[in-house]
Amino acid sequence: MNFRRKNIKKQHCEVIVGAQCGNAVLRGAHVYVPGIVSASKFMKAGDVISVYSDIKGKCKKGAKEFDGTKVFLGNGISELSRKEIFSGLPELKGIGIRMTEPIYLSPSFDNVLPSYLFLQNLPSVVVTHVLDPQPGEKILDMCAAPGGKTTHIAALMHDQGEVIALDKISNKVEKIKQNALLLGLNSIKAFCFDGTKALKLNTVKDAEGKPPFLPESFDRILLDAPCSGMGQRPNMACSWTLKEVTSYQPLQRKLFTVAVELLKPWGVLVYSTCTITLAENEEQVAWALRTFPYLQLQPQDPHIGGEGMVGAGLSLEQLKQLQRFDPSVVPLQDTDIDSLRDARIEDMIWLANKDCIGFFIAKFIKCKST
């Protein structure tokens, strides 16, 4: 949760990092060398450093000072000198600044029980429970990378059954395979394949179980669709264009149409996004119910988030069956941790369940064969 530490003394020696690196630091990461854009002129290994994020991308690589728009992230200890960081060696990796006083108390879970734990945001955990995979079933995760939900699906099935994971970017597919191997899950098969083309148009059966697949091949399908990602937190800067934001709705509908065809009668389809727009969430549900009259919206268990947003023509009953996580409902920005020391444990749990990324979940059941 966003419990801010105040009264951190800023240092004269500064390091500027990119916005993406800044996001990671707010999540509890140290500063890795590739994320460092600028460092003070005389910075040496072992110096106490104040770390800032260049949220507008205006700082020049290797600059010795930067007076543009920057956000303070906290203090740390430099592992390398300025000269070493900007030596021109492209293979230089690893930790550049070890954070000792980050402004948010968010501990790093990197390499903590890696073969047992896979860290995910709360809604990402909830969505897999809503899918409710059962041992022995055949499950499709249409847009699966990096495999957090995929591995969770396999774990909930006790690794009994078949979990097909698709992603169209090859290095992301390798990440799914690595995570499955690390967690010792054998039921996962990951393929580099475009989900919009996952439906086999001819009736010749593919004995190898590779995509594309015959219609009505899966008991349950998770479509965690590509989206504008406006619910992701933390996010140091907004770089979306209107054209980019509006490009996702047609892609989501293509994927959804294929998912419906691939789903068995009485199978379960769960649609989710990590964005907050009406067009990518409730409007998609309304479109699906109009386009596929044999789909029925289902209640969700567990239901931790709020109801759906009005504006897409859905009834109040239908909105209650949706699950929307909205970070703005918990005003924790700049909350000082000292103000919460005397809070009841029940209140802290409520805050933890509400203070998360923006996310949306809809659950459908297919009531007949197509």
Q: Give the residue numbers marked as catalytic.
A: 274
In the sheet that holds 31-32, the strands lie side by side as 31-32, 95-102, 71-78, 48-54, 14-18, 36-39
**3-class DSSP assignment, residue 55:** coil
Q: Do residues 93 and 113 touch, judged by C-beta distance below 8 A?
A: no
Q: Do residues 323 and 303 touch, judged by C-beta distance below 8 A?
A: yes
Task: For strands 188-192 and 295-297, give the pairing.
Answer: unpaired
Q: Return d(Cα 273, Cα 228) in angstroms, integer.
A: 9
Give 211's DSSP letter: S
Dump the DSSP string for 315-327. -HHHHHTSEEE-G
Task: For strands 188-192 and 162-167, give the pairing.
Answer: parallel
Sign of the dihedral defined by the CA atoms of residues 199, 370, 312, 362, in that order: negative
Q: Do residues 140 and 166 touch, judged by C-beta distance below 8 A?
A: yes
